[in-house]
Structure 1
Amino acid sequence: MNGVEAFLLGRTLMKIGEQAMPPPKSGSSGSVRSVVVVLGDLVSHPGTTVGEIAARTGLPQSQVSTAVARLEEAGSVDTEPDPADRRRRLIRPAVEPSARVAEVRGSTIDEALATALTGPDGTAPDPDTVREVTAALDLLARRLTPSVTAR
């Protein structure tokens, strides 16, 4: 596998993950993808600022601010004023998971993965193939956590 193939695989996995997540409350602004990217960065860098997240993720600062607002509304993050500069807020994952976090964590990718593995003619994927791909994804999830890729 080369870098382009790894990148494209990552995008495919992101789409499967997005399809598997329970939909956000109606009226929520911002994309699911940017919210998940921001939350992933916060897990690796708790106690950080919007500007620092934007620099690390490459997302525009306005998009990071919108994602943080959604995460705060859902109870997924806590914020506090930065003692060094009271104009900025320090953001960290919430100590107690919110109902939304529990809902998202409780969802699985089974249906979205089966859809992705469906043949071009609409035939259902072979159960052995689904198990094999699921096992491979479980291995990747254990080995390639956000903290590994932050190094």
Structure 2
Amino acid sequence: MNGVELFLLGRTLMKIGEQAMPRVESGSPGSNRSVLVVLGDLVSHPGTTVGEIAARTGLPQSQVSTAVARLEEAGSVDTGPDPADRRRRLIRPTAQPSDRVAEVRAATIDDALAAALADPDGTAPDPGVVREVSQALDVLARRLTPSVAARARDLDASSD
């Protein structure tokens, strides 16, 4: 596998993940992407600012602010003043997950993965194939955590 193939696989996995998540009535699938990117960054960098998240993720600051507002409304993050500079707000994941966070965490990927692996004519995939792919994803999830990605980004930034 090369970098392009890995990148495309990552995009495919993101789309399957979006399909697996319970929908919010007002949310479209694409509206979750920036929220998930911001939340992923916050898991690796708790106690950070909107500007720092924007710099690390490459998202526009306005998009990060909107995502933080949605996460705060859902009870996924807390914000508070920075003791070093009271004009800035620090963002961190909440200590106690909200009902929405619990609902999202409880959702499985089974149906979305089976749909993605179905034949083009809609024929259901072999259950053994679904199980094999699911087990491979479990291994990747254990080995490639958000902190691994953060370290890779930090190494990449330090080599510039």
**1:74–1:25 Cα change, 3 Å:** farther
Q: Which amino acid aligns with 1:34?
A: S
> Shift in Å at residue 56 of structure 1?
0.3
What's the counterpart of residue 86 of structure 1?
86
Q: Runs ≥4 in structure 1, deviation > 4 angstroms?
A: none
Give the TM-score normalised by structure 2. 0.90
Any unmatched runs of 5+ in structure 2? 152-160
Amino acid at match of 2:69: A
Provide the identity percentage.
85
> Aligned to 1:150, what secondary structure does the other structure show?
helix
1:23-62 aligned at under 5 Å gives the runs: 23-26=23-26, 31-62=31-62
CA offsets, 1:25-58, max 9 Å, x none? 4379x81010011000000000000000000000
**Worse overlay, 30-39 or 70-79:** 30-39
Paired letter, 1:37: V
Q: Which runs of 5+ in 1 are unaligned?
A: none
Q: CA RMSD, aligned part only?
A: 1.3
More helix by share: 2
Distance 1:136 1:43 in 2: 23
Question: What secondary structure is seen at the aligned counterpart in 2 of 1:47?
Answer: coil
- The secondary structure found in structure 1 opposite 2:88 is strand
Aligned partner of residue 69 in structure 1, secondary structure = helix
Aligned to 1:31, what secondary structure does the other structure show?
Answer: helix
- 1:1-151 alignment runs, 5 A limit: 1-26=1-26, 31-151=31-151
Q: Name the TM-score, length of structure 1 as normaliser.
A: 0.96
Question: Secondary structure of the residue that 1:92 maps to in structure 2?
Answer: strand
* Separation in structure 2 between the aligned mates of residue 118 and residue 15 of structure 1, nearest angstrom: 15
Tell me the number of residue pairs that the alignment of Structure 1 and Structure 2 aligns: 150
